[in-house]
Amino acid sequence: MFKLEKVYYKYHGEAGFALNGMSLTIPKGQWVAVIGTNGSGKSTFARQLNGLLLPLQGKVWVSGLDTAQEGNIPLIRRYVAFVMQNPDNQIVASTVEEDTAFGPENLGLPPEEIRERVNEALVWVGIGHLKNKSPHLLSGGQKQRLAIAGALAMHTNCLVLDEPTSMLDPQGRREVLSTIARLHQEKKMNIVHITHSMEEAACAERIVVMSEGQIVMDGTPEEIFGQESTLAELGLELPAVTMLGNRLAADGWETLRNQLETDGLVEKLCLLK
């Protein structure tokens, strides 16, 4: 689905490279979480995936389409949808259903098909009952699900989310995360989830760790969170559950090491004598 080859990118007027020769391949249907400290290039990477930013050097391919060729951009935007951090600033229209319709309207679809797609998408993310509401009356979690509905109505096969939960309360986080998980399972969508939260990263199939515009670690959550000391050097922590398990393991309960989920840890705890 995505292929990046030695991508370099530098923001105007800044000395260092935001992306420093980054290479990465993401196969179709995979759920990838991207973690890293502030300024590691995560958001820049995300914006390379739908051609919002173009590489200064190197190449980015989306479904075999080169993002540097301007003619490919409309098609790429149909394949890849983007959900941003601030839920307010990505809502265009003054009612929920009009906003969901914005993408399909840009595709030039007939009105009946747009309405059908909009209704389906809103019901799927669970805000069908709010379709005539004004977006500023929605909760943070509902606003982000509205953004996801906008992507669904486009019939995209990939969703790039740039810290979608960092401005939400715990309830909103849970809503958004479970929607992401459903997108992956039910719609077989490609997910690229940029996040600060290790708990959220642990839900993915694969974790990519970025630092100074490069990929420093790449593997399954088990592999990544098994290397506590390397992560600590990069300024990253383990998920709280894993940390707790590992501390107990250090005190002699070896079976509790590297647990990523609360349920898993509880199960192992119950097996202890």
Q: Is the dihedral of CA 40, 65, 177, 222 positive or negative?
A: negative
Q: Which is nearer to other proteins, 53 or 238 (CB)?
A: 53
Q: Which is nearer to other proteins, 113 or 263 (CB)?
A: 113
Taking the complex as a whole, the smallest distance from the CB of residue 162 to other proteins amounts, in Å, to 10
- For residue 92 the two structure tokens come to 């265009």
- For residue 158 the two structure tokens come to 């990939």
Instruction: Establish if 168 lies at the interface with other proteins (CB under 8 A).
Output: no
Question: Residues 173 to 212: which contact other proteins by CB under 8 A?
Answer: none
Q: Which of 33, 35, 81, 224 binds other proteins (CB under 8 A)?
A: 81
Taking the complex as a whole, the smallest distance from the CB of residue 202 to other proteins amounts, in Å, to 27
Instruction: Establish if 103 lies at the interface with other proteins (CB under 8 A).
Output: yes
Instruction: Establish if 106 lies at the interface with other proteins (CB under 8 A).
Output: yes
- For residue 200 the two structure tokens come to 């959220």
Q: Which of 13, 64, 70, 89 binds other proteins (CB under 8 A)?
A: 89
Which strands, in side-by-side order, build the sheet including 2-9?
19-26, 2-9, 57-62, 65-66
Distance separating alpha carbons of residues 184 and 186, to the nearest angstrom: 6
Element of type H or E holding 59: strand 57-62
Instruction: Establish if 108 lies at the interface with other proteins (CB under 8 A).
Output: yes
Q: Which is nearer to other proteins, 106 or 230 (CB)?
A: 106
Distance separating alpha carbons of residues 255 and 257, to the nearest angstrom: 6
- For residue 168 the two structure tokens come to 């939400």
DSSP state of 72: G
Contact between 40 and 231 under an 8 Å Cβ cutoff? The reply is no
Q: Cα 196 vs. chain centroid, distance in angstroms?
A: 11
Count CB neighbours of 196 within 10 A.
15
Instruction: Establish if 157 lies at the interface with other proteins (CB under 8 A).
Output: no
Taking the complex as a whole, the smallest distance from the CB of residue 35 to other proteins amounts, in Å, to 22
Q: Which of 48, 50, 67, 195 binds other proteins (CB under 8 A)?
A: 50
Instruction: Establish if 95 lies at the interface with other proteins (CB under 8 A).
Output: yes
Taking the complex as a whole, the smallest distance from the CB of residue 70 to other proteins amounts, in Å, to 11
Residues binding other proteins: number (CB under 8 A) = 39
Q: Cα 174 vs. chain centroid, distance in angstroms?
A: 14
Instruction: Establish if 94 lies at the interface with other proteins (CB under 8 A).
Output: yes
Contact window for other proteins (CB under 8 A) among 87-95, 167-175, 230-238, 251-259: 87-95
Cβ neighbourhood burial of 226 (10 Å; 0-12, 13-18, 19+)? middle
Binding site for other proteins (CB under 8 A): 47, 50, 52, 74, 77-78, 81-82, 84, 86, 88-95, 97-98, 101-111, 114-115, 118, 134-136, 150, 154
